[in-house]
Structure 1
Amino acid sequence: MNSKKILLLAGDYVEDYEIMVPFQALTMLGFEVHAVCPEKKLGDIVLTAIHDFEGAQTYSEKPGHNFVLTYDFDSVKSEDYVGLVIPGGRAPEYLRLNQRVLEIVREFDQAKKPIAAVCHGPQILAASGILSGHQVSAYPACHPEITLAGGKYADIAVDGVQVSEHLVTAPAWPAHPAWLAAFIKLLGVKISLPQ
């Protein structure tokens, strides 16, 4: 692995677990994770939201933590990174309107670099036009967007993962163990426990 840098696309009201857990886990593995947001710089914050499943017809939302960005969005060059992480929450809804965000996703896709997207993160994949022929999971409400973008929606358990070539997707944060394990496997990370 020439680079040990991962790009993480963030925005206000990103889901708290879906940014915090991957950021911390990948950092723990030795990756330098550049968390960025359009129109924000290193040291700026994004607000997070905690989504939970409490018996309603959809998830509930509560205020989360402030997350400090670790890099300037305007300085991102896709060739510097080995992988891309796209957390869910409400951020993907507006991030997919940013043309540079879509270009970045297309650049990773064209290079066949691993891309991990969870929950509403696949909204950005759909808007980028890279889903044709891929089977993709997401929060169930994103099913129509995946289908309209030419992908096949994978209806899997909330703690499951769907891998389609270099795309790793999952329905929501309960899938972190499976989703992160599949992503780091594509990155070439091998973890062995002592005997």
Structure 2
Amino acid sequence: MGKEILMIVGDFGEDYETMVPYQALEMVGHDVDAVCPEKEAGETVKTAIHDFRGDQTYLEERGHNFEVTATFADVDPADYDALVVPGGRAPEYLRTYDEVLAAVRHFFEADKPVAALCHGPQILAAAGVLDGYEMTAYPAVRPEVEAAGCSWVDGVTVDDNLVTGQAWPDHPEWLAAFLDLLGTEIEAGEPAVADD
């Protein structure tokens, strides 16, 4: 049975870190509500694509328009089984919204699964929920999450209800760990082949 999952998104969140988890979770039968403060269902956020080309930091280019599927003001975190917090530049401003921080705190207080990637842990740090966790994030965010009381690990990490990864190249392992935490069972079947 699919879970109800809340995803907090915003303008210039990382494109792959927003689109891929949203589509993958829906593909395996979960219902995902993507929400953004001050946005109504049906409106869009602009995404950014972060590419790693050997520079000291990532290169950022304009991504896609990603449709918000629910209105943040109308959702109750208690109605959801899990939370996804993508990275990109959005977390640096999303963490300034009291309602975002309150929603994040709900998932930790209720010990519900949370998946955060890249810069997403900036929101968790601002919500004050990281003390005592072992986790990772985009390496440039390491000082923030350590200051919030966590222990740093390189690579995808699962600690209690929290699954973290460093960036979109971690998707296979990060999403697999989150699906495991959700108790998702995927049955392998024979692929359908069209007759000529």
**Equivalent residue runs for 1:33-182 within 5 Å:** 33-156=32-155, 161-182=156-177
TM-score, length basis structure 1: 0.95
Which residue of structure 2 lines up, in the alignment, with residue 189 of structure 1? 184
Q: Using the alignment, how far apart are the partners of 2:81 and 2:174 within structure 1?
A: 17
Q: Alpha-carbon deviations, 1:5-56, whole Å to 9, x = none?
A: 1100000000000000000001111111100000001001000000010011
Letter in 2 for 1:58: T
Q: CA deviation at 1:194?
A: 4.2
Q: Using the alignment, how far apart are the partners of 1:155 and 1:24 within structure 2?
A: 26
Moved over 6 A (4+): none
Contact 2:157 2:164 in 1 (8 A): yes
**RMSD after superposition:** 1.2
- Aligned residues: percent identity? 57
Q: Using the alignment, how far apart are the partners of 2:189 and 2:97 within structure 1?
A: 45
Could you tell me which runs of 5 or more consecutive residues in structure 2 were left unpaired when the two chains were aligned.
191-196
Which residue of structure 1 lines up, in the alignment, with residue 22 of structure 2? 23
Q: Using the alignment, how far apart are the partners of 1:152 and 1:99 within structure 2?
A: 25
Q: Using the alignment, how far apart are the partners of 1:62 and 1:31 within structure 2?
A: 30
Could you tell me which runs of 5 or more consecutive residues in structure 1 were left unpaired when the two chains were aligned.
none
Q: CA deviation at 1:4?
A: 2.5
**What number of residue pairs does the alignment pair up?**
190
Larger Rg: 2
TM-score, length basis structure 2: 0.94
